Amino acid sequence: MKPGDPVILAEGKFKLEIIRTLNEFEVECKVIRGGLLKKRGINLPLTDLNVPALSDEDRKFLSLLLAGDEGCVDTIALSFVRNK
């Protein structure tokens, strides 16, 4: 993340802008549109995050679904797909 990059919270309700990177895990932000934060969702639209699309827990649940009776799963979807 770099200065000027947006940080979106609570499904777009709040918007911050990165002022500076303090270290690998912390940034300082300016609040552009704020309020009382209740939801925990975060979106870093210009940041390339090095995290897997599916967690180990996701993979476990997916394998359980797929191991069930044929035809029990119609669709499997992934939100916020970053690349193919």
35-65 confidence digits (pLDDT tens): 888 877 788 888 877 778 888 998 998 888 8
Contact between residue 50 and residue 80 where contact means Cβ atoms under 8 Å apart: no
Task: Identify the pLDDT of residue 8.
Answer: 92
- Rounded Cα distance, 20 and 3, in Å: 5
Picking from 26, 82, 53, 81, the residue whose alpha carbon sits closest to that of residue 7 is 26
Task: Identify the pLDDT of residue 14.
Answer: 92
Q: How many CB atoms lie within 10 A of CB 62?
A: 13
**Cα(first)–Cα(last) distance of the chain, in Å?**
22
Task: Identify the pLDDT of residue 71.
Answer: 63
Task: Identify the pLDDT of residue 76.
Answer: 84
The model scores a pTM over 0.75: no
Binned at pLDDT 50, 70 and 90, residue 70 comes out as low
